[in-house]
């Protein structure tokens, strides 16, 4: 199956079983395991009519290519994950909160960003199809289930997508050390799409040109940069903080 993708570990497998069980094509469970988490997986799989194979640990190691699978490995039909940006935007019940990742190629960083996005209630994560990590087993593992709950939308032309966001009344705000305002003094717009580039090169020139506003994250120590998922956590948390204060006024 062309769109088949591997997932492994209890977080990723459980999230898939609860969020989208019909996308699971096969599930492998280590034979002889009788702990609580394994029993819960088997019970949920049975309830959802998911096919389960019992296999030795050595076979699971081979299937997962040596990853730390915790005794559960599955294959999913990734095509059943596809979500259109328009579907997300037209069904929002609050001002948009989006995360745009420009050039994040490390699956660990992408997984951590998805986990952060889930925690902060991000409505969708957007990334270009080219020069991006893409969803894979490592991303699902690091995301601890968030890869199954946060819509991850890949687009062929990021600049065009940013223009479309503006047509929906969403401000495109980039993070940049040379931003005209710092995070703690910037009055953030009601509907916002935060844009982040990779640690090495930052946003691409065309992406930067499509930003309505550039915001810097203040640094008070000696390091010159932070992991993109940490920065995402900071800006998304500040966005939520400002929204809470606004709602209480």
**Cβ contact 98:122 at 8 Å:** yes
**Cβ contact 28:53 at 8 Å:** yes
Residue written as token pair 């993708």: 5
- Closest to 189 measured CA to CA, from 171, 208, 202, 176: 171
Q: Is 197 annotated as a binding-site member?
A: yes
Element (H or E) spanning 127, and its range? Answer: strand 124-128
Q: Is 234 annotated as a binding-site member?
A: no
10-19 vs 36-47: helix crossing angle, rounded to 10 = 30
The CA distance from 44 to 21, in Å, is: 9
Residue ranges for the known binding site for S-adenosyl-L-methionine are 197, 226
């Amino acid at each position: 199956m062309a769109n088949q993708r591997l997932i492994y570990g209890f977080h990723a497998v459980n999230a898939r079983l609860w969020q989208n069980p019909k996308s699971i094509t096969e599930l492998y469970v280590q034979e002889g395991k009788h702990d609580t988490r394994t029993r819960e997986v088997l019970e949920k799989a049975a309830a959802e009519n998911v096919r389960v194979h019992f296999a030795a640990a050595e076979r699971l190691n081979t299937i997962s290519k040596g990853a730390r699978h915790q005794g559960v490995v599955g294959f999913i039909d990734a095509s059943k994950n596809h979500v259109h940006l328009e579907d997300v935007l037209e069904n929002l019940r609050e001002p948009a909160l989006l995360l745009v990742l420009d050039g994040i190629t490390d699956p660990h960083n992408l997984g951590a960003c998805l986990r952060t996005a889930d925690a902060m209630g991000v409505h969708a994560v957007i990334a270009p199809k080219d020069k991006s990590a893409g969803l894979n087993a490592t991303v699902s593992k690091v995301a601890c289930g968030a890869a199954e709950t946060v819509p991850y939308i890949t687009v062929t032309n990021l600049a065009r997508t940013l223009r479309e966001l503006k047509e929906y009344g969403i401000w495109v705000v980039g993070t940049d050390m040379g931003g005209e305002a710092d995070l703690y003094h910037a009055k953030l717009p009601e509907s916002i799409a935060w844009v982040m580039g990779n640690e090495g090169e930052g946003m691409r020139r065309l992406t930067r040109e499509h930003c309505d506003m550039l915001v810097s994250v203040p640094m008070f120590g000696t390091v010159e940069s932070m992991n993109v998922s940490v920065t995402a956590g900071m800006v998304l948390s500040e966005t939520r903080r400002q929204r809470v204060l606004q709602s209480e006024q």
